[in-house]
Amino acid sequence: MTSETVNSAEPVRVARRRGIDGWRWAGRIFLTLLVGFTIMPMFWMVITSLKTGFAAMQYPPQWWPASPTLDNYWRLLDPNGSVGRDFLRYFWNSMFVSVATTVLAVLVAVPAAYAFSRFRFPGRNFLFFAILLRNMFPAVVFLVPLFILMRVLGLVNTHGSLILTYLTFGLPLAIWLLKGFYDNIPIQLEQAARIDGATRFQAFFHIVMPLSTPGIIATSIYSFIGAWNEYIYAYTFLTRHDQMTLPVGIQRFFSENATDWPGLMAATFLMSVPVVVLFLVLQKYFVRALTEGAVKH
């Protein structure tokens, strides 16, 4: 290669490098703007929760309260006050419904996904896609049929109606997610355990279950968040004050003539804390399950 050829190729490499760097910077700027757009509502929610009712209604708005206060949080967490007593009741109702839904979803999805992954039986593909068919329709389409069913079963105004309803929405995706995860666990590991004398259940419990922990955790996160944030069905099925969950219960901050915006923002922030903490603690398992369950080896 002559020196003339090398010299003529150098500007091309420089231009290409500059083009790549330009796209990288454009991507960084776009992601920064996207993160700012995502964080801004949370920031405004926290700032408003630290204001008094008068300061929250000022125009132009205060980006930082002149006299920040935590009274809105103390009022919500005070078990002796009427607001705090109701808020804590709603909180524990939501926690019970979400945890029960998560536990039942895992107990059902784990063996179902394993069966779809390992066993071959007539109608297997049809049954698997029939389960996923429910997710093709908006959840609100099933509102009236499920309400009629719960009324016939006598479950209206009980937490059992919400748990059963959330299972019908969460199980299809949970089974699909875990099936993809089990498909990537080599079947030879189970066969080796069977040769050593283990039963199928022992091979599943001691070999497959530990390897599928990230997938089970991801399924648990998905089920918990879906049950924790749901509003429409909780609003329809629960009319008793002591049975309401948190998304429905925070409506008490709205009244006919005024809205307690600082109290509402404080309640919303406290409602988001369990989900954020759960996701941050188990994030690595969630990401690992999504990548391993979506890629065939």
Q: Give the pair of three-digit tokens for residue 276.
A: 């954020």
Q: pLDDT per residue over 86-144, tens digit each?
A: 888 999 999 999 999 999 999 999 988 888 888 888 887 888 888 777 777 787 888 88
Nearest CA to 97 out of 246, 296, 214 is that of 246
Query: Distance between alpha carbon 169 and the CA centroid of its chain, in Å?
Result: 13
Which of the residue ranges 6-20, 73-87, 100-114, 246-260 would you say has the lowest mean pLDDT? 6-20
Dihedral angle sign, alpha carbons of residues 167, 171, 172, 173? positive
Distance CA 8, CA 27 (A): 30
Distance CA 40, CA 46 (A): 10
- The mean per-residue pLDDT over the stretch 47-60 comes to 79
pLDDT at 256: 53
pLDDT at residue 40 greater than cutoff 80? yes
Distance from the first to the final alpha carbon of the chain: 43
pLDDT at 129: 82
Q: What's the pTM value of the predicted model, to 2 decimals? A: 0.79
The length of the chain, given as a count of residues:
297
pLDDT at residue 5 greater than cutoff 70? no
Helices (H), 134-186: 143-153, 159-183
| Neighbouring C-alpha atoms within 13 Å toward the C-beta of 225 | 17
